[in-house]
Structure 1
Amino acid sequence: MPPASRTPGALAVYIGRFQPLHDAHLHTIQAALHRHAHLLVLTGSANLARSAHNPWTAPERARLIRAALRESGHDTRRLSVRPLPDEFDAGLWAAQVQAAVAATLDRLGPRPVVLTGFEKDASSGYLRWFPQWQADPVPAQTAGGTGLLNATDLRAALLGRGEVPPHVPPAVQAFLRDFLRTRTAARLSAEYHAIQAARAALSGTPTPRHERLDLHTDAHTVWLARRDGPIGRGLWALPATPLLPGDLPSQAAVFAHPARSPVWPTTAHAVRVTAPPPGTRPVPLDAALARPHAFFEDHHVILCRMLEAGRSRA
């Protein structure tokens, strides 16, 4: 992917989670709007429930991006913001990115496409996944000489210590001050501390762990459990059973994306079962499929994949 020069007519594409939007994100957005005709921002993890890792919804993040741009004096008419779901599969995720870009080009008209962003760690490796587009990387910003800005550290300040973090635009600071006074913030703070404690307890555990997920459905119903601990409290889930490496089921769909579990890398072995698993209750299948944000981790994605696989075998 060759580096891009200034491309006045181009569509720039910037992919991120923006959890939360910080000064380096805003700098990248401003640079892209300065160099190119239009910017498409794709807000990742848009299909996942609120969690300590993804505290804010795609619409909330879109509003903050626009508010931060407006207060810095930028015209937002050359900005599009679209949600980007997590697929926990690189090929399917890339196809979602390409579909979002194609939809934007359909609206704006044909033009070159440029991929922008800054490479800071493995999470930004996607910058090399689209060789058909030019690259326009932005140098990563530091936080007052203290190191690269990292949203993980900002969430730790907010959820771990109850502090509005520095190095975020004023509109984001105001939003986060209000957010800290909500029940959602209290719930996610409890989840954050529970995750840190669970990680500490598992510090000597071999990687990855394994779990079995049981799925029972009929034509109109799926049987789901409700999470009752601090991690994912109240969310729908497929019932999980820890597995030893020597006890892995042979007839299972395997889901091993390294980011699927917030606590520890965990490989899920999803199995169709013939009876409702203990601790589950019936949920109308259409209602479950329509509410991805009501599911723990990637369980909605797993449900959809298992149903697709069942249809393809029928």
Structure 2
Amino acid sequence: MIRGLFIGRFQPPHWGHVWAVRDILREVDELVIVIGSAQFNYIIKDPFTVGERIWMLREALREGGVDLSRVIIVPMSNIENNAAWFSYLRSYVPPFQAAYTGNPFVAMLLREAGVEVRQQQLYDRQRYNSTRIRELMLKGDPEWESLVPKSVAEIIRSINGIERLKIIAAGEAEPHKW
């Protein structure tokens, strides 16, 4: 059995993520998806909690026709010591034979640890990009909804995600110093 690893922040999950997972599952028997930066939330770069991202990603994959019995979703917090990052990662996930990432820095860390790194297909990265999706949400541009599965848009609406993002962007999310 070949198990792959796919790392992302999924802030929010979009169609590009879903299509990449479907492609990767053509090459591996099982896929571990690591949701990185698990400790961050309610900030402009990471507005959604790890629980919300797990929920969104699972529903997005289901909507995209992915066999969820072949997917393991693991949240993982960041650490500041990049040289120790792979050992930290390995403690969170089952053994895997290949890793997929579009992030050159992550690819470098994995290769230095002796991991086979494969490039997954990137789908119109200019369009399917979580940063861009958050920017569209902030502008009130409804195009963002076409870039994510319907289930993700519904979850974002149900948690008042757009309002949250706008409050965060206005600087109201900073803790007060008494």
Give the TM-score range, shorter chain. Answer: 0.7 to 0.9
Q: What is the aligned-residue identity percentage?
A: 22
8 Å CA contact 1:28, 1:117 repeated in 2: no
8 Å CA contact 2:5, 2:99 repeated in 1: yes
The answer for the alignment partner of 1:232 in structure 2 is 174
8 Å CA contact 2:101, 2:120 repeated in 1: yes
8 Å CA contact 2:10, 2:130 repeated in 1: yes
Task: Select which of 99, 106, 130 maps to 1:126.
Answer: 106
The answer for the alignment partner of 1:114 in structure 2 is 98
User: Secondary structure of the residue that 1:149 maps to in structure 2?
Assistant: coil
Q: Distance in 2 between matches of 1:49 and 1:231?
A: 10
Give the drift of 1:25.
1.0
8 Å CA contact 1:160, 1:192 repeated in 2: no
The answer for the alignment partner of 2:79 in structure 1 is 87
Mapping of 1:1-314 within 5 angstroms? 9-101=1-93, 104-105=94-95, 113-119=97-103, 124-131=104-111, 132-142=114-124, 147-161=126-140, 163=142, 165=144, 166-179=146-159, 182=160, 185-194=162-171, 230-233=172-175, 279=178
Amino acid in structure 2 at the alignment position of 1:27:
W
Q: 1:186 to 1:73 in 2, by over 3 A?
A: closer
* Alignment root-mean-square deviation, CA: 2.3
Output the TM-score relative to the length of structure 1: 0.51
8 Å CA contact 1:40, 1:81 repeated in 2: yes
Q: Distance in 1 between matches of 2:69 and 2:11?
A: 23
Q: Distance in 1 between matches of 2:164 and 2:130?
A: 19
Higher relative contact order (CA 8 A, sep 6+): 2
Identify, as 1 or 2, the structure richer in helix. Answer: 2
Give the drift of 1:82.
0.7
Bigger Rg, structure 1 or 2: 1
Q: 1:148 to 1:158 in 2, by over 3 A?
A: closer
The answer for the alignment partner of 1:197 in structure 2 is none
| Structure 2: tracts of 5 or more residues without a match | none
8 Å CA contact 1:46, 1:58 repeated in 2: yes
8 Å CA contact 1:160, 1:193 repeated in 2: no
Give the drift of 1:46.
0.6
Give the drift of 1:11.
1.2
Amino acid in structure 2 at the alignment position of 1:135:
V
8 Å CA contact 2:38, 2:78 repeated in 1: yes
8 Å CA contact 1:164, 1:173 repeated in 2: no
| Structure 1: tracts of 5 or more residues without a match | 1-8, 106-111, 195-229, 240-278, 280-314
